[in-house]
Amino acid sequence: MKMHDQIEEAEVSILHTYNRFPVVFERGEGAYLYDTEGKKYLDFAAGIAVNALGYHYPGYDEALKAQIDKLMHTSNLYYNLPIIDAGNKLIMASRMSKVFFTNSGTEAVEGAIKAAKKYAYVKTGHADHEIIAMRNSFHGRSIGALSVTGTEHYREPFEPLMGGVRFADFNDLESVQEQVTEKTCAIIVETVQGEGGIHPATKDFLEGLRRLCDEKDIILIFDEIQCGMGRTGYYFAWQEFGVQPDIMTCAKALGCGVPVGAFVLNRKAASASLEPGDHGTTYGGNPFVCAAVSKVFEIFERDMIIPHVQELAPYLEERLDALAEKHSCVVERRGAGFMQGLELQGKPVSDVVKKALENGLLVISAGSNVLRLVPPLIISLAQVDEMIDILDVCLR
């Protein structure tokens, strides 16, 4: 069956909530994907920042196959060995206190919201509390996560959403302070705004949020779903500045392909928030996904994945800066580590993404006018050059 026919067959049964690109992928190897007709693509999208180790990284597949032969699922009514190991490794990497494994990043955000609200409930004895979120943010597509997503077109069709949410400007501490009331129980912020256009938080902003939350006993939540797990050259982006949140959400590259997320709490939040009966999940943290999480951390440490990002990121930025200078349609290059964006003007991002696909390169958009590059963390200098050469053609 030809690829066109495969796409038509998919449209028969799959709900059309994505305007998918006209390609059907069959397999991957390293930093490359191959469609069902054998065409090769350099992947600078990584499944939207999920496939940090690319495809078929040595040892990863074998760990999952070995776990399938042992145990796939038991529910959270019982302990299992992989969740113990994965939990220990995530706590060690984050230097936080407790972890709750979920099935996705959206569920991690839901859990973080509940933990913050419960913390305030325990402290005050009542449930009438508010959350401050950032404009231009994105935290997920469930009702709770949408409620703290500061982008109108995501929210509008599903209103009324969860009440008690106020919005402030990203990287503007004064704007946040203006929204604080006696009801404020949490502030949630992406350490690097992803869908909103690749905007890293500043050191001063994060430090200011930490001071504010300490002064008011407000729970500070950092969303590290996209920017975490090595993407910015640190396990988590906040670690560059030494500003630890009370609760952190992560997902995407946490499992490098299996559907897994987590919210992680510091000692204060963990000791006075969620108790047995407050929160749960049937699949979250099952042996299969936790075997993947555990193996990912093992590979990151053994093969020095994060030092590789730190070493290669300046070269990636240098090549992107040169490309931006060459093409007048590129207004700005911004980002951190292997999470980069090119803001375009006068040339639709969708056209560049489609042209790149035609030329064997996968890139994606962020917002309405930003070209997003979130490659596997294992890319080489030569693959950076290959990407630049293709983008150069696409931007002409």
Give me the helix-helix angle, 349-358 and 381-395, nearest 10°. 120
Decide if pLDDT at 211 tops 90. Answer: yes
- pLDDT (0 to 100) of residue 49: 98
- Band the pLDDT of 367: cuts 50, 70, 90: confident
E strands, the chain, are 25-29, 32-35, 40-43, 98-102, 130-134, 165-168, 184-190, 192-193, 199-200, 219-223, 247-250, 261-265, 330-336, 339-344, 361-362, 364-366, 370-373
Q: What is the mean pLDDT of residues 196-225?
A: 98
* Lookup result for tokens 């000791």: 271
Decide if pLDDT at 267 tops 90. Answer: yes
Cis amide leading into 160 (omega within 30): yes
Decide if pLDDT at 356 tops 90. Answer: yes
Provide the residue type at 172 as one letter: D
Domain with CATH 3.90.1150.10 in the chain: 3-57+304-395
Of all residues in the chain, the percent with pLDDT exceeding 70 is: 100
In this prediction the pTM is 0.97
Look up residue 158 and give its two tokens.
Answer: 């599903």
Q: What is the mean pLDDT of residues 83-89?
A: 98
Query: What digits encode the pLDDT tens for the residues 108-149?
Result: 999 999 999 999 999 999 999 999 999 999 999 999 999 999
- The partner residues of 192 in beta bridges, in order of sequence, read 200
Query: What digits encode the pLDDT tens for the residues 165-194?
Result: 999 999 999 999 999 999 999 999 999 999
Domain with CATH 3.40.640.10 in the chain: 71-302
Q: Which of 396, 349, 351 is nearest to 372 (CA)?
A: 349
Q: Which of 63, 67, 56 is nearest to 297 (CA)?
A: 63
Decide if pLDDT at 196 tops 90. Answer: yes
d(CA 110, CA 104): 10
Decide if pLDDT at 338 tops 90. Answer: yes
Decide if pLDDT at 1 tops 90. Answer: no
Angle at the Cα of 97 from the Cα atoms of 243 and 295, rounded to 5 degrees: 95
d(CA 295, CA 255): 8
Helices (H) and strands (E) in the chain, counts: 14, 17
- pLDDT (0 to 100) of residue 334: 97
Q: Which of 354, 312, 317, 349 is nearest to 333 (CA)?
A: 317
Architecture of domain 71-302: 3-Layer(aba) Sandwich (3.40)
> How confident is the prediction for the chain on average, in pLDDT?
97
Residue pair 349/365 in contact (Cβ under 8 Å)? The answer is yes
Q: What is the mean pLDDT of residues 268-292?
A: 97
Q: What is the dihedral of CA 115, 119, 121, 125, to 10 degrees?
A: 160
Decide which of 3.90.1150.10, 3.20.20.150, 3.30.200.20, 1.10.357.10 is the CATH code for 3-57+304-395.
3.90.1150.10
d(CA 284, CA 373): 29
